[in-house]
Chain A
Amino acid sequence: MIRKGWLALFLLLTFLPLYWMVNMSLRTNEEILAGFHLLPNRPSLANYRVIFTEESWYRGYLNSLTYVAINTLLSVAVALPAAYAFSRFRFLGSRHLFFWLLTNRMSPPAVFLLPFLELYSSVSLFDTPWAVALAHTLFNVPLAVWVLEGFMSAIPREIDETAYLDGYSFPRFFVRIFLPLVRTGVGVTAFFCFMFSWAELLFARTLTAVDAKPIAATMTRTVSAAGMDWGVLAAAGVLTLVPGALVIWFVRNYIAKGFALGRV
């Protein structure tokens, strides 16, 4: 009974701040500032309408989705063969390389800020989705390699050997037999690449100016402007939760795994 109560209290405290944002997103700015109510008096979708009709807002989402998609595809594509190599073979420097990938995942993005700014300006990618997508490979490629390696190591090596004996070439084996076996892993990895790229703010904000400005930056810049529109800000926040909320049921057993780099 005490255990249930403790758990319920924890869940309640978890959901209060979330509820409050949803609540604010359903109220107009006048209503928010006029008084304090636990439930919205007249719930309206006006704030959401603003986001879907004003270009500065919905462009933010489109920009974010663009670089997140590029980054996810790129990270998973390069990580697949590498994770296979790490899970199956030892080679010169394999342990060092694996460690080096981990340091990239853990390193503070702030360290890379200045050189990235210079690097992407010099190859004229600044303010394009490609700059952000490439910058996010810094932490997403290591993440993808580590998580995929965890999933692939769980597949017995006998399967590879049998396939080779049956005359499969490596590419055909990899695509026809191996990939279907690790498809859960690929899905989970893609989801986490998506999530981390979607959540990142520092690079996304610094490497873009106008054309490729992501939603995260749009939100912080609204905050710094005078006369805040709390309702629209809350609505924008609620909309960024949609991708996570849509798939959380499917990844429920892998959330900890994704954050712990597949080591749990």
Chain B
Amino acid sequence: MEKPRNERAWLLVLPVCLIVAFSAILPLMTVVNYSVQDIVSPEQRVFVGWEWFKDILRDPELQAAFVRQLVFSATVLAIELPLGLSIALCMPRSGWRASLITVLVGMPLLIPWNVVGTIWQVFARTDIGLGGAALHGLGLDYNYASHSLDAWLTVVAMDVWHWTPLVVLLCYGGLRAIPEAYYRAAAIDGASRWATFRHIELPKLTGVLTIGVLLRFMDSFVIYTEPFVLTGGGPGNSTTFLSQHLSTMAVGQFDLGRAAAFSLVYFLMILVVCYVFYNLMTRGERDDLAKPEGKV
């Protein structure tokens, strides 16, 4: 059913527009303003055009941070999606046990992000942390505060711990929407567990998996708080991802022009991924309207 046109609906969205104009448009304009000027002092500003943009695109440190970011996002996606899906397949489909397990699985999602950092900071320490001490006990020379690789692996482990539950709950929701009749039909046909998964469950999960991929990509691409608390970006730069690089540039060094130019490039990347996200999500809704039973 097509929604009716009504221009007066603008009055209803006006408050949202005003508040977002204040908290998003106004600041973005300032960023644009900074990105094309060299601000020596408040009175002395020089228009420099594209210089800052050219400068940051050639900046080796930034390129390194970008590569680090991509590798990190790809790694967490590659671990969290299969793991989340496999856990969701193990969960009971109904009853009080299902509710209880949902609550237990969802717990890490509701922990404030800086506390996630704190939890892992405490857990992974070799002297007082259970995880770190256990690795030491196994004879590994593990120390996230001084070895780059250990720090990176700890951040990955933390992200997997924190966000796999989201993939689990998304997939679980998708699985529960599959009618029992499908499974009975498969059983009558003598389908193996793998065939049931491949031909019944997986096709029904495409929608939620797409959302899972995009959400996890987005959120890991702008990750800031957890590594900031856990490692502060170190040792060296091994866990400095884009957001942290940017905030150091902006607030740490007050490198206005460069930070602003990079902000715009960063924002543009997000915009592109958002556009894909938006189209995939609204396409799903249009399909649902066409065949109402297909709603996941």
Interface residues of A (CB under 8 A from B): 3-4, 6-7, 10-11, 13-18, 20-21, 24, 32-33, 36, 38, 74, 77-79, 81-82, 84-86, 88-92, 94, 97, 99-104, 106-119, 134-135, 137-138, 141-142, 145, 157, 195, 198-202, 206, 216, 219-220, 223, 230, 233-234, 237, 240-241, 244-245, 248-249, 252-253, 255-257, 259-260, 263-264
Contact = CB atoms under 8 A, between A and B. Distances in A.
Interface stretch (B43-51, B52-60, B118-126, B143-151): B118-126
B122 A21 contact: yes
B222 A107 contact: yes
A97 B13 contact: yes
B241 to A, nearest CB: 10
A109 B110 contact: no
A115 B225 contact: no
Given A90-B3, A201-B225, A4 B166 contact: no
B215 A260 contact: yes
A contact face: mostly helix, strand, loop, or mixed: helix
Contacts of B36: none
Interface string B121-156: 111000111110100000000000000000000000
Nearest to B256: A114
Interface string B252-294: 0000100110010011001101110110010011000000000
Interface of B: 1-10, 12-13, 15-17, 19-20, 22-24, 26-28, 30-31, 34, 86-87, 89-91, 99, 101-115, 118-123, 127-131, 133, 161, 165-166, 169-170, 172-174, 208, 211, 215, 218, 221-222, 224-225, 228-229, 242-244, 246-247, 250-251, 256, 259-260, 263, 266-267, 270-271, 273-275, 277-278, 281, 284-285, 296
Contact of A138 (B13, B23, B119): B23
Contact of A110 (B34, B110, B224, B278): B224
A256 B169 contact: yes
Given A3-B89, A17-B161, 13 more contacts: A10-B105, A11-B105, A15-B107, A20-B130, A78-B15, A85-B12, A91-B7, A119-B27, A142-B20, A157-B1, A200-B225, A202-B247, A233-B122
A143 B86 CA distance: 29
Contact of B246 (A90, A108, A198, A199): A108
B100 to A, nearest CB: 9
Contact of A78 (B16, B105, B129): B16
A137 B20 contact: yes
A33 B20 CA distance: 48
B23 A134 contact: yes
Contacts of B165: 14
A121 B130 CA distance: 44
A91 B5 contact: yes
Contacts of A112: 23-24, 27-28
Contact of A237 (B7, B12, B108, B119): B119
